[in-house]
Amino acid sequence: MAVWALGINHTTAPLDLRGRFAFALDQIAPTLHSLRTDVGNRLGRQPEAAILSTCNRTEIYCAGAQNEIDTTVEWLAQSGQVNPALLRSHSYALHDASVARHAFRVASGLDSMVLGEAQILGQLKDAVRVAEEAGALGSTLNQLFQRSFAVAKEVRTSTEIGAHSISMSAAAVRLAAQLFEDLTRVKVLFVGAGEMIELAATHFAARSPKGIAIANRTLERGEKLAGRFGAETMRLADLPTRLHEFDIVVSSTASQLPIIGLGAVERALKARKHRPMFMVDLAVPRDIEPEVKELEDVYLYTVDDLAHVVQSGHANRQAAVAQAEAIIDAGVQSFVHWMDQRTAVPLIQQLQSQTDEWRAVELARARRMLARGEDVDAVLEALSRGLTQKMLHGPMAELRTGDAEARQRATQAIEHFFLRKER
């Protein structure tokens, strides 16, 4: 069984390229079906597969009879409508043990933009759950991910890897505070109602802004989140006419196209008499058109723009990183050992099947002898002799062969398996 992974992340690919390969959670199941069908046509059998897609990364994990990384690259390039060569130049391909190491580092927060952040573990668990529900997981990937969860838990409980981390939301608040000296005098608009917006709203609400509004495609979900923060709700359709009311806009939706355009922001600035706006686009693909950043009175930050802020405190975490890497090393060795053992499973199954067949034959023979009234000791003697002869027939035949090299191999095997003293 081969294991391989293909991915792009915040260190290998620019934001707009990552946006082409961003899959919402409800898109994962049909995407997995497409991937497994395409690769399965090459393998003759569909591989195991899982897809992890966040604002910072898209990664495909597969297991199959043979490595099909090239097919996986071609499939992903086609899904994002880019040239395979371009994708290869911005991606990483991993095999076997390196896949385990990468998965364990991702789950533990060591490969994140925010070193030690815990959110990625929940996102990975969601990806595994969706893959399992789609029937795309088998024993190999299931073992890989369950071990990654266990390693992440040990890293989290045994080290201080997350003790000094700064979240994307905290970084956004820090930057906003640099622009607006008093956050209690500003109004904040959150676009979307997912986990990223919930985290951002929690951080901004702690600074007691003058007002909070949540705009979402479905009012019901927006109202549920708004209730936690005493916020008002509004429809996405009302954004163009109300955007000027807000000093801070934080957006993170699953839209495949920008929902806040250049024209809408220009009109908002005019209505605000060019008072500054602070905007944070946490979405991949982008929610806010990139041209907005060129406007003089707008301070627009994307997930990549926040990178340097979240890296602060990096030196304080180096000792914890070393501890975490040691835990991961042990986990990788354990997984590789499990994979190595798996290669012997078919032979073990054949051996067990053969010995069960021999046993069944001798038991049937013994029962017939007992039914004829033969002596019990004689039946047991015949049973044991029959089993012994069947087990030794192959080795004895090899010892009688005319091939000297074959006899030498047989002699060494017999001495190893039958004649060695217990250690």
Active site residues: 55
Contact 49, 60 (CB under 8 A): yes
Contact 233, 222 (CB under 8 A): yes
CA distance 369 to 372: 5
Considering only CA atoms, which of 44, 76, 78, 43 is closest in space to residue 61?
A: 76
CA distance 182 to 201: 17
Neighbours of 292 (CB within 10 A): 22
Within 8 A by CB and 6+ apart from 205, the residues are 212, 229
406: tokens are 């074959």
CA 315-316-319 angle, to 5 degrees, is 95
The reply to whether omega before 285 is within 30° of 0 (cis) is yes
CA distance 246 to 272: 9
126: tokens are 């969601």
Distances (CA, A) of 364 to 252, 359, 361, 368, 392: 71, 9, 5, 6, 20
